[in-house]
Structure 1
């Protein structure tokens, strides 16, 4: 269901696309259009391709075969058929379909890249793709099959099969043959001209779409991790000294400074902190004391991915590039390595965020924390308490570790050796997104256990924001005195994390209380 649009139109090929902007387009909050100047640029570039064909100038992919067949010249009358064969022969993806939103992001990113006017695409083809975006008629794209080098060939081939009446489309929650859906909507297949099929399937849009999803969801996890760490620190009566601004000025990594500032604001005016300010404990375990260093390092990795993704989604990743009739270049703009490495890095960052969360969960259940009962329940023995929730986080953390091997470290030659080094960035994106999915579940369990431990500090109060966070959690997950079925609590907590409900609530309450929650680095850690 498309949401009501309230923002100014986005001009494909002209405006700078942000990660939040791409998501707005995919979610129907904003509409993308082609300006008259862009339409002319695309049309002029298309004419260059027509002239190349007519004058029989040999240009890869326009009037030659592909990959190792690049020396095979194609007759002018067959250059159109070549594009159809390309889409059909490259539609070899396997596995489950990617989400509809990811597929729609691929369409959006491809239109933006093609509208730059260097790919020889026809205006009519661009307009048909935009029709798919605007009408939410989304192609079905299998998740496996790209090696992330000549672009995401197989996923993109599946993405654009419906243009020629083939492939599959989502209709409501069902997958149906594209020909059937298009016929029902009164739309005929379009005719592709020379170079168009190659322009459609050359590119990094599968990897880039996954990067957008990871940037958004990992940012949400990072924001939650700070809040839940503060809640858990209060439950375990940890020290705030390790968040001191003067301390962090001595090692001013952007992420660490940002997290330390957030922790200070979350814990400001806490009665719990004041109650043990002069205790005899010298220092806390690392999972509490090193929150800024660990969370901050993951934020820096996230920032690297965000910056790379911004470049990628505003770039031309086609091949060959058509500058003019006399200047066409077969380069490597499609190679996924620039984004594959940051995708793997982000997966590692997400895994480490889950790792330290699990350590805090475990620590809160031990008898070493004064004032907290073993396993966070008063009457254990008959009751197992929260013991088994940590089993789940341990399993998820271990699974994430197994997913951390960098796919970009591997390369298997393809195309009879023509493509002798590939990035495997599509795998980097898929598995890093899976790591983030597991991380959301780990943080959801810390949300439950931290709220449980926090209750044992009553009647003392924490800072305003932490009290508000606890109040919202308790509005749906009650304090646990005896064993019960936890799956509904966990399901609610996962939804609360994924929906950003807790973040939105705290931002709203901070605004009402005139609390400036973020610091000077907040803008660089945003997605708009």
Structure 2
């Protein structure tokens, strides 16, 4: 497997996904190591001379005016980690922890944080050896960075806390020992360098964004199948319509639908059955396209954040300066995650409306609830309820976290971003969206049994066949919970997209 190189400059969201989901190894570029070494020398000189530097020769937060002697500089960092490691809640999932470790290493590789090479090497070794810290997901204000949860990562490097290793949950020291690694003794500035940053919100946010991109493509594919099963009118997706409202994303979705529906024997012309379709079909490019605009915005912010120095203070070698600033403030990611929640919630909202059209006999020519024995059997009646429940839940989760702020540290830190809350809620929204889309796909698959799968376009027939590979037709009533979960997982994994694109051509 290809090693992902970290240089603090050009890591991508897809790189993060490879490390998180595929366990790709990481390594630091040679020039990055040199930057780290040079910056560390600057820290050691500051300690030797006793210069007043926040978090190095002073306390933290409201204690920033308390002087710390050089001989206590190392113990200060140990105390910092132990006192700040008070996050709560369920542990972050291992892919998100892997992303977190990678992104923290990438930020440190920029050479503005003052960490020692041996400490950074241990962080990389833990990632590559599969020592994954147990990081509770709740407790960050999103400024000064993700202090509480990141401290649980730092604990493991010290041989404390807990970590997962080869499927076991162990003490941090035991996990390191089993992996053949040795804990470090934190020195001046290192504890602060490890925890003062936005990597919790950014790791969750990056993986959520990657999943959202996959679901956006999947939504076009599933919608195309629904259009066929409802004998929809593809003229609404014509190039002429969309070039006169030239949003690139809207144009792209319309192009996707034309590719996906090419060769269909089930779609109809204007006036053949009806003059125009309901909005949930006819306005697909406009709605799905607008959600793609949100993804474009989020992609830009994620790309910048994963290659940024987000701790405090920052050391600038060329200028010979140590500057206390606020790059740890998560407002950009907080806004991006809140926007992502809204954009993806709409994909689910319109999907649920298409599901309703598939199961409601008043809105289609299909049997009531796609039942093969209506009345005696309920068919797909209740999966639509589940979709409705999930989209309603998303409306609550989509409330912006970024508009809230609670002062902390005796009002020294008087405005915070709540960016990690926004990212966590975005991840929940994406999970719900995957299930809503799965329900639509399962219902469209059932509808295809009635309208005739042989009439499907080649691309949507491929999607239908992929569905049938894991979900049998619902010929008699049965529980469909496992079916929904399996299809949702397949949509999030993304391989179905590649399979369909092999037939339709590349989709936007």
TM-score range, shorter chain: over 0.9
Q: Counterpart of 1:306? A: 299
| Deviation of the 1:489 alpha carbon | 2.7
For 1:351 and 1:67, the matched residues in 2 are separated by 37
Aligned counterparts of 1:123 and 1:102: Cα–Cα separation in 2: 24
Identify the range of structure 1 (245-254 vs 134-143) with the bigger mean alpha-carbon deviation.
245-254
Contact 1:298-1:353 within 8 A present in 2 as well = yes
* Residue number in structure 1 paired with 2:274: 281
Of 282, 286, 308 in structure 2, the residue corresponding to residue 315 of structure 1 is: 308
Give the Cα separation in 2 of the matches to 1:29 and 1:486: 32
RMSD of aligned residue pairs (Cα, Å): 1.7
Contact 1:235 1:455 in 2 (8 A): no
8 Å CA contact 1:236–1:369 kept in 2: the answer is no
Against the structure 1 CA distance between its residues 46 and 258, is the aligned structure 2 distance closer, same or farther, given a 3 Å change threshold?
same
What's the offset of the Cα at 1:471?
2.1
Instruction: Find the partner of 2:377 among 375, 383, 387.
Output: 383
For residues 344-365 of structure 1, give each alpha carbon's deviation from its aligned partner in whole angstroms, at most 9, with x where no partner exists: 1101111111111111111112
**Aligned residue number for residue 256 of structure 1:** 250
Q: How many angstroms apart in 2 are the aligned matches of 1:400 and 1:459?
A: 33
1:136-151 superposed matches below 5 A = 136-151=130-145
Task: Report whether the alignment pairs 1:89 with 2:83.
Answer: yes
User: Residue 280 of structure 1: CA displacement?
Assistant: 5.1
Any stretches of 5+ residues in structure 1 without a counterpart? 523-528
Structure 1 residues 29 and 426: CA distance shift in structure 2, 3 A: closer
2:506 to 517, 520, 524: 517
1:326–1:493: structure 2 CA closer, same or farther, 3 Å change rule?
closer
Gaps of 5+ in 2: none
Aligned to 2:388: 394
Cα distance in 1 for residues equivalent to 2:178 and 2:476:
57
Aligned pairs for 1:90-489 (under 5 A) are 90-274=84-268, 276-279=269-272, 281-324=274-317, 326-458=320-452, 461-489=455-483
Find the aligned partners of 2:22 and 2:390 in 1 and give their Cα distance.
34
Higher mean C-alpha deviation, range 119-128 or range 325-334? 325-334
Conserved 8 A contact 2:162-2:171: yes
Equivalent of residue 38 in structure 1, options 32, 48, 53: 32
Could you tell me how far apart the structure 1 residues matched to 2:300 and 2:54 are? 32
Cα distance in 1 for partners of 2:307, 2:483 equals 41
- Find the residue that maps to 1:70 and give its secondary structure: helix
What is the rounded CA distance, in whole Å, between the counterparts of 1:415 and 1:461 in structure 2?
65
Give secondary structure in 2 for the equivalent of 1:96. Answer: strand
- Alpha-carbon distance change, 497 to 151 in structure 1, aligned in 2, over 3 angstroms: same
Contact residue 355 and residue 397 of structure 1 kept, 8 A: yes
Whether the aligned pair in 2 keeps the contact of 1:371 and 1:456 (CA below 8 Å) is no
Q: Is the 8 A contact 1:365 1:387 kept in 2?
A: yes
Q: Alpha-carbon deviations, 1:10-34, whole Å to 9, x = none?
A: 3322551011112223345643223
1:58-77 matches, within 5 Å, as 58-77=52-71
Deviation string 1:159-198 (CA, Å, 9 cap, x unpaired) is 1101111110102333211122223444332121111111
